[in-house]
Structure 1
Amino acid sequence: MKQMRISQLRYERERRGWSRGYIAEKVEVDVVTVGRWERGEQLPHPHYRQKLCNLFDMSAQELGLLPEVFPEANGQNVMETDKSPDEITVVTAPENQGEVSNAIAVLPSTAQLPTSTSVKSTSVSSTLLRHRRKLLIGIGGLLGAAAVAKVGSSLLFPASPLVVSKVAPESACLHHFFDVNSSNWVNKLAWSPDGQMIASASDINEIAIWSIEQQLIARYYHTTPDEWVNDVSWSKTNRIASVTANYNHAGTLQVWQFPQDNPLLTLYRPYAIRTVSWSPNDRYLSFASHATVVEIWDPFIPHQVSKYVYPELGLLGINRVKWSPTGNLIACAMDDGTVHVWEPFTVKVKAIYRGHQPRAADLAWSPDERHIVSGGTDKSVHVWDVATGHAVYIYRGHTDEIEGVDWSPRGNYIASASKDLTAQIWEAFTGKLIAKYEGHNSTVETVTWSRDGKTFALGTDKQGIEIWPSPH
């Protein structure tokens, strides 16, 4: 039977804090049947489908209960600057990458912008939602809902190259790491400062530290039982930070000094934590979750320095947080399709880019800090200018949702990972496809370059980790 997008049902259940038993009781079936629906092993009978729709107050299509293919949505982007707080520049990116209209729209005075909060030293206690695939319902745009504008000048996107059936890598895979004791579902990867090791965040409660030269697991870091690790970040001073989630919809942030055993810091949250990132100077940690908040901490005191609040996100979450190379800005990819850029300590909003529908899954900064690349569930990867909010290039070489993106340290290439079972490397501003990494039978979840740019790693949801030489 063809696999269907039934896992949307699980996403909606979990974000409401409901158990499978609760669904089974309300719909009058057994728990096993609910599990089959969520795994896509069978479709609900129309009678039960209607009960599910009534229970969730959503349509069958929104719950992913229909077998038909979902139409691909067009993208938009919005850029908001502190220079002109009453205006928003809106750019629409058509599916065929033709002309793009600019418009000026007035932001209503009642609009709620993200807020800044400074918090004194505090001891926080609270505990992670499964996030493997952050599926969600496509929702209407926020901020732009109040926009009425006149059309201005147009912007032309370069044509995206056709995906060639075989653009073989010029070199063979250097290493393939497969842990026989785990499912080899890799959510995220992080390189050690010297490039000799790589840490993997998995769907169980452990971070595996792989020795690349020895081709073995040098050690494990274990989190609380019944959790899975959503993200991992490795600082230049050998501190490893991880964030987790569990079935109780709670989350944990932990920090270790590699290779020591005991964590330096453990923070609990009553919501799943999805993403974590060290500042370039290794002084601060930013992390975000299945909630409307990005927190910045000094983990060595420890205390919260500031937080970025985005109330319009509602029940949705934040998928990725990344510091800019200088540490002057932070960007975060949202479940509502937007990417936000802001100052980490004043929490002053510099830009809000709307280029993806319905979800922005991942992002990365260019080495010169002038551009951001973001990938979404709309199968597209956008390269856009931080200062203007305009998309410079939209890459449409993938045939399914984008899971991960990264920008090479030299700035010439972008790598993208997708549910279409491939990773692709292409020129950052022309979209020329350089190499396509095929042969996987599962989603390529993440891709990341080594710090020196000589190699890159990709992680899959069944086949472990691959290390490849970077194209020349």
Structure 2
Amino acid sequence: MMVALGLHSNSIQVHMLDMETTSPGHTLLHSITAPSHRTDVRAVCFSGDDRAIASGSANSIKIWSRSSRNCLHTMESGHVLSLTFVPGDRHIVVGTKTGQVQLYEVGSGDLLQEAGAHSGAVWSVDVSPDRRGLVTGSADHDVKFWDFELISDPASQQRRLSLSHVRTLKMAEEVLCVCHSPNGRLLAVALLDSTVKIFFTDSLKFSLSLYGHKLPVLSMDITSDSTLLATCSSDKNIRIWGLDFGDCHKSLFAHDDSIMGVKFVPDTHLLFSCGKDRVVKFWDADSFDLIMTLEGHCGEVWCLAVSRDGNTVVTGSHDHSLRLWERTDEPLILSEEREKEGERC
């Protein structure tokens, strides 16, 4: 007799059971382990042209085709907490739980550079708007700035990309998230003390301090016009802030558990959020209305990313899966969505 098993590691095994002997046993016939993640998906991002998606877990990074949904490449890594494509989409930068900042070449899967950048977990990585470098935020209280540069590789006798540390901004608390304004003027830094500090990018002079969340801010994003900042927290609330004076436009009780990620749709004031309550929600940051609730994951949703064309959202979860949510041409009637939300409650 044969039996198929779906395992917690997100793999499938087929066993042959031997029930005719005095000591029953089994033989493993087949095992399907690729291409999915074996552990929680903790970080996701789209490539610059929206054609590829990168996802990271406790031991690997996977590159996926957006159109075919196939896994194109798998790279062994440290415990991934944050990642981003480098402009040009030929490289990817990863922040790990042990404080490493790793630079991979996407095509070959080679680890080009591994810098012991921080002494604590690298919770956030964000490419600067001028595309010349990036910034990392860590549990060691440091915000570090890195430039992209080309160096000579002695092994191949060719020039390759490298990261060069240029300056450090020291904070009084652990850094949980960093985010540039798209106009390159401001840098937002979320700290463990539940505050968000705003600095001028060029001089690193302090600009604003945003108070209001009762628990730490886990993720944040800024609109394409650099006017609004959205923050989400373990206190289950999303706050919408104005970046001109730092005033809170609205506090939304958004999820039934900690909110792990928030992202604006490019060139709009619409945003998506995800949380430990296993759902993804779609909001209007001008009217503060809940537009839609998306259900499908069977575990906490750790991360999300929105494509640059605004038509696709990808989410990563504790259930080891990624889900793609795509815009449809079907008209959306808010009154019907509110009725559905009321039925869920």
TM-score tier (shorter): 0.7 to 0.9
Aligned counterpart for 1:217 among listed residues 71, 94, 97: 71
Following superposition, the deviation at residue 377 of structure 1 comes to: 0.6
Mapped to 1, the partners of 2:192 and 2:34 lie a distance apart of: 31
Following superposition, the deviation at residue 394 of structure 1 comes to: 1.5
Following superposition, the deviation at residue 184 of structure 1 comes to: 4.5
Structure 1 window deviating more from structure 2 (271-280 vs 402-411): it is 271-280
Following superposition, the deviation at residue 463 of structure 1 comes to: 4.3
Q: Which residue identity lines up with residue 54 of structure 2 in the other structure?
A: A
Following superposition, the deviation at residue 403 of structure 1 comes to: 0.5
Mapped to 1, the partners of 2:34 and 2:221 lie a distance apart of: 28
Figure out how many residues of one structure are paired with residues of the other and give that number: 283
Equivalence for 1:108: none
Q: Which residue identity lines up with residue 390 of structure 1 in the other structure?
A: D
Aligned counterpart for 2:181 among listed residues 300, 324, 344: 324
Following superposition, the deviation at residue 263 of structure 1 comes to: 3.3
Equivalence for 1:352: 209
Structure 1 window deviating more from structure 2 (300-309 vs 397-406): it is 300-309
Equivalence for 1:62: none
Following superposition, the deviation at residue 181 of structure 1 comes to: 5.1
Aligned counterpart for 1:380 among listed residues 232, 237, 241: 237
Aligned counterpart for 1:232 among listed residues 71, 83, 92: 83
Following superposition, the deviation at residue 399 of structure 1 comes to: 1.3
Q: Which residue identity lines up with residue 191 of structure 1 in the other structure?
A: F
SS of equivalent residue, structure 1 residue 243: strand
Following superposition, the deviation at residue 395 of structure 1 comes to: 1.5
Change over 3 Å in CA distance of 1:420–1:255 after alignment to 2: same
Which aligned pairs between 1:287-436 and structure 2 lie closer than 5 A?
287-300=136-149, 302-311=163-172, 313=173, 317-436=174-293
Q: Which residue identity lines up with residue 168 of structure 2 in the other structure?
A: K
Deviations 1:246-302 (A, max 9, x none): xxxx32101234323333432113322221111122211100111211000113264
1:196 aligns with 2:44: no
Aligned 8 A contact 1:189 1:446 in 2: yes
Deviations 1:119-168 (A, max 9, x none): xxxxxxxxxxxxxxxxxxxxxxxxxxxxxxxxxxxxxxxxxxxxxxxxxx
Identity %: 25
Aligned 8 A contact 1:307 1:347 in 2: no
Following superposition, the deviation at residue 410 of structure 1 comes to: 2.6
Q: Which residue identity lines up with residue 207 of structure 2 in the other structure?
A: K
Aligned 8 A contact 2:81 2:123 in 1: yes
Following superposition, the deviation at residue 471 of structure 1 comes to: 6.6
Aligned counterpart for 1:275 among listed residues 119, 124, 140: 124
TM-score (norm 2): 0.77
Mapped to 1, the partners of 2:146 and 2:128 lie a distance apart of: 10
SS of equivalent residue, structure 1 residue 210: strand
Mapped to 1, the partners of 2:175 and 2:188 lie a distance apart of: 11
Following superposition, the deviation at residue 383 of structure 1 comes to: 0.6
Aligned 8 A contact 2:240 2:248 in 1: yes
Equivalence for 1:251: 99
Equivalence for 2:109: 261
Mapped to 1, the partners of 2:214 and 2:40 lie a distance apart of: 26
Which aligned pairs between 1:108-127 and structure 2 lie closer than 5 A?
none
Equivalence for 2:160: none
Deviations 1:325-349 (A, max 9, x none): 1222211222111111112341111
Mapped to 1, the partners of 2:74 and 2:144 lie a distance apart of: 26
Change over 3 Å in CA distance of 1:207–1:463 after alignment to 2: closer
Q: Which residue identity lines up with residue 227 of structure 2 in the other structure?
A: R
Equivalence for 1:286: 135
TM-score (norm 1): 0.57
Aligned 8 A contact 1:373 1:384 in 2: yes
Mapped to 1, the partners of 2:324 and 2:277 lie a distance apart of: 19
Mapped to 1, the partners of 2:311 and 2:184 lie a distance apart of: 24
Aligned counterpart for 2:93 among listed residues 241, 257, 261: 241
Deviations 1:206-246 (A, max 9, x none): 111011222211012222xxx3100111133113110112x
Q: Which residue identity lines up with residue 215 of structure 1 in the other structure?
A: R
Q: Which residue identity lines up with residue 200 of structure 2 in the other structure?
A: E
Q: Flag the structure with higher helix content.
A: 1
Following superposition, the deviation at residue 427 of structure 1 comes to: 0.7
Aligned counterpart for 2:41 among listed residues 186, 190, 199: 186
Mapped to 1, the partners of 2:275 and 2:121 lie a distance apart of: 23
Between 1 and 2, higher relative CO (CA 8 Å, sep ≥ 6) is seen in 1
Change over 3 Å in CA distance of 1:214–1:403 after alignment to 2: same
SS of equivalent residue, structure 1 residue 265: strand
Aligned 8 A contact 1:383 1:429 in 2: no
Aligned 8 A contact 2:37 2:320 in 1: no
1:456 aligns with 2:310: no
Structure 1: any 5+ residue segments left out of the alignment? Answer: 1-177
Mapped to 1, the partners of 2:109 and 2:36 lie a distance apart of: 20
Structure 2: any 5+ residue segments left out of the alignment? Answer: 1-32, 151-162, 330-345
SS of equivalent residue, structure 2 residue 215: coil
Aligned counterpart for 1:207 among listed residues 55, 61, 66: 61
Q: Which residue identity lines up with residue 361 of structure 1 in the other structure?
A: L
Aligned 8 A contact 1:417 1:445 in 2: yes
Q: Which residue identity lines up with residue 260 of structure 1 in the other structure?
A: S
Q: Which residue identity lines up with residue 129 of structure 2 in the other structure?
A: P
